[in-house]
Structure 1
Amino acid sequence: MNAPRTRVQRRPVHGVLLLDKPLGLSSNQALQKAKWLLRAEKAGHTGTLDPLATGVLPLCFGAATKFSQLHLDADKTYEAIARLGVKTSTGDAEGEVIERRPVAVNAGDLARVQARFTGPIRQVPPMHSALKKDGKALYEYAREGLEVERAPRDVVIHSLSITAQPGSDDIRIRATVSKGTYIRTLGEDIGEALGCGAHLVALRRVATGGFHESQCVTLAAFEAMDESERLARLLPAESLVADHTRVTLGAEDAGRFLSGLRRRGGWGDSPAVAVFGDTPRTFLGTAHVKAGELIPGRLLSPIEIQQTLLTEATP
């Protein structure tokens, strides 16, 4: 007779894990693995990476999930390798080769194309993406062999460098981009601008918002840790709002703010505010200030605040 499976006892866990997502794993698979290792009750991520991409994947647990949307909108930095002269059906190494062209590219060509794709540009989203048309993901149409019309989207390439890889037809791309930018599409468009086509053979996200790859832990290293070491890797939920204006409230105002009431003060207008209580010092949530009024946004619950304080007090 088989022994009964031990049920994992879930618990409240609050914070942000900066994971270096491994190659070949979907973002959701990485999230579920980390959630299981932490025995966390609630988890979410801040935007997906393709299975063939690696790098910075902030995972949110508990109270931090309330603020994960903020990093969907954050600027991101990627490093990619594009192979010139070969186009694939998906724009990356997963797809079938659909066209081959000769490559005759020099340093001047790369500099010209780099300048052309720096700044505001328009992109047509790829068919192999999760964007929806008529309630159906584009990749579902693509799997059926269908191509549907997609409206171009305005995105911004804040910085871009394109360098040749000696001894090959590969180029290295490093780009800091606005939300909604597809690096696969950028690689394909650069290839077309060079007259030979291209597809991505490697993609790594090195930064998102204020988070950098140097802060990340690999899934293998995280799995090898004991429970206390895993918990110690979590950043507080407030790390997701590090770029917000900070406002600190006294105990009475903090209590009223947490109940959803606006507070008045001498604050200047600000669209993004991180609000803290001072006794004890704790993150309460987000708000915005208009005409001297602090207007609540996403708030932690009293139980989430209590659990966070208990966790911070535990050596």
Structure 2
Amino acid sequence: MGRRNNKGTPIHGWMVIDKPLGMSSAKVVAEVKYKTGAAKVGHGGTLDPLATGLLPIALGEATKTSAWAMDGSKTYTFVIHWGRSTTTEDAEGDVVETSDVRPSPAQTEAALVHFIGDIEQMPPAFSALKIDGERAYKKARRGEKVELKSRTVTIRSLKVLKYIDNDHTEFEAECGKGTYIRSLARDIALHLGTVGHIAVLRRTRVGPFEIKQAISLDSLNDLGHNYALNSYLLPVETALADIPALPLTGPQAERLHQGQTVRVLDAPDGPCLAMADGKAIALATVDNGEVKPQRVFNL
């Protein structure tokens, strides 16, 4: 299907896509840009090609808030395939180790407490982390040794959803920025005296974005008018749900939009989202009653 809007059309907001299996996040961004004609498009957190689920797409001025989406907590459902570890720690890689050990439901439940809270995690060799300026996965694909440093990540919750069969168990995890679910699955298996890899991975939440808000890429083919596109858009400020809103008057908003500082009463110090007449004006900081713009929205 052709582009539904003229190239470079000023479209601002968030679109939540249910990423299909096998497609990269960058490809999804390119598809959305092509089908909407938006001038600027980005995403709020990469998903592996073999993962499905929620991929927030920022259009226009919403791209200025992408970092807040990336920093938000995320929820995943995933299936561990017990007894096989792979080069990539998911179903795409070659099997490198096998085990006949299968954890019981009771053993699995008891193990999860060890992975809740702040934990040390070694990222997978097949990851987008950089080593001497090069992505780790590129080195791994060439068969080179990949040496990454462990790092502290936060697992807010972790539970079993379903014992599918002797070889597969489904989990749900809520985690903080930088967590690799592939590494979590690997480490759970090792803790249980076996090996394992991710067989299925699906993201269901990123910060304030939820999977129930998501649409398929195919549904964008049905857009025939701008109002149809707008029905899929969430406001620019959606990713900023955790930042307190600061209401301004019209004149105050105008000055802030021009990069000037304004004074307010009874506003707590710290970051804020300056709003006027229900519209986002700027990301700003308050310091002793003085509001300074940091990122101005041109809406």
Aligned residue type for 1:145: G
Could you say if the C-alpha distance between residues 146 and 70 of structure 1 is closer, same or farther in structure 2, counting changes exceeding 3 Å?
same
Deviation at 1:96, TM superposition (A): 0.2
Query: 1:267·1:289 contact (CA, 8 Å) conserved in 2?
Result: no
State the distance in 2 between where 1:224 and 1:254 align: 37
Number of aligned residue pairs: give it.
Answer: 294
Give the CA RMSD over aligned residues. Answer: 1.6
**3-state SS, counterpart of residue 111 of structure 1:** helix
State the distance in 1 between where 2:44 and 2:275 align: 23
Query: Runs of 5+ in structure 2 lacking a partner?
Result: none
Could you say if the C-alpha distance between residues 104 and 21 of structure 1 is closer, same or farther in structure 2, counting changes exceeding 3 Å?
closer
Query: 1:277·1:283 contact (CA, 8 Å) conserved in 2?
Result: yes
Deviation at 1:298, TM superposition (A): 1.1
State the distance in 2 between where 1:291 and 1:200 align: 50
Q: Deviations over 1:114-166 (max 9, x none)?
A: 11001110111111111111111111110111123211111110000035524
Query: 1:245·1:270 contact (CA, 8 Å) conserved in 2?
Result: no
Query: 2:17·2:57 contact (CA, 8 Å) conserved in 1?
Result: yes
Aligned residue type for 2:48: D
Q: Deviations over 1:2-34 (max 9, x none)?
A: xxxxx9633111111011111111111111111
Q: What is residue 235 of structure 2 aligned with on the other side? A: 236
Please point out which of 275, 283, 286 is paired with 2:283: 286
State the distance in 2 between where 1:176 and 1:183 align: 10
State the distance in 2 between where 1:30 and 1:221 align: 13
Deviation at 1:112, TM superposition (A): 2.0
State the distance in 2 between where 1:25 and 1:271 align: 39
Deviation at 1:223, TM superposition (A): 1.9
Q: What is residue 92 of structure 2 aligned with on the other side? A: 94
Please point out which of 167, 185, 197 is paired with 1:199: 197
Q: Deviations over 1:149-187 (max 9, x none)?
A: 211111110000035524331111100000000000001
Q: Following superposition of structure 1 onto structure 2, how do residues 64-213 of structure 1 map, counting pairs within 5 Å?
A: 64-163=62-161, 165-213=163-211
Query: 1:110·1:163 contact (CA, 8 Å) conserved in 2?
Result: no
Q: What is residue 224 of structure 1 aligned with on the other side? A: 222
Aligned residue type for 1:23: L
Q: What is residue 275 of structure 2 aligned with on the other side? A: 276
Deviation at 1:272, TM superposition (A): 2.9
Query: 2:82·2:102 contact (CA, 8 Å) conserved in 1?
Result: no
Q: What is residue 313 of structure 1 aligned with on the other side? A: none
Q: What is residue 29 of structure 1 aligned with on the other side? A: 27
Deviation at 1:287, TM superposition (A): 1.2
State the distance in 2 between where 1:251 and 1:229 align: 30
Deviation at 1:270, TM superposition (A): 4.3
Aligned residue type for 1:204: R
State the distance in 2 between where 1:167 and 1:254 align: 59
Q: What is residue 3 of structure 1 aligned with on the other side? A: none
Query: Runs of 5+ in structure 1 lacking a partner?
Result: 1-6, 306-315
TM-score between both structures, scaled by the size of structure 1 = 0.89
Q: What is residue 266 of structure 2 aligned with on the other side? A: 267
Q: What is residue 253 of structure 1 aligned with on the other side? A: 252
State the distance in 2 between where 1:251 and 1:134 align: 50
TM-score between both structures, scaled by the size of structure 2 = 0.94
Deviation at 1:70, TM superposition (A): 0.8
State the distance in 1 between where 2:16 and 2:97 align: 38
Please point out which of 23, 36, 39 is paired with 2:37: 39
Aligned residue type for 1:236: P
State the distance in 2 between where 1:39 and 1:231 align: 13
Aligned residue type for 1:293: E
Query: 1:103·1:169 contact (CA, 8 Å) conserved in 2?
Result: no
Q: Is 101-110 or 222-231 further displaced after alignment?
A: 222-231
Q: Percent identity?
A: 36
Dislocated runs of 4+, deviation >4 Å: none
Q: Deviations over 1:24-74 (max 9, x none)?
A: 111111111111111111111111101111111110111111111111100
State the distance in 2 between where 1:74 and 1:246 align: 18
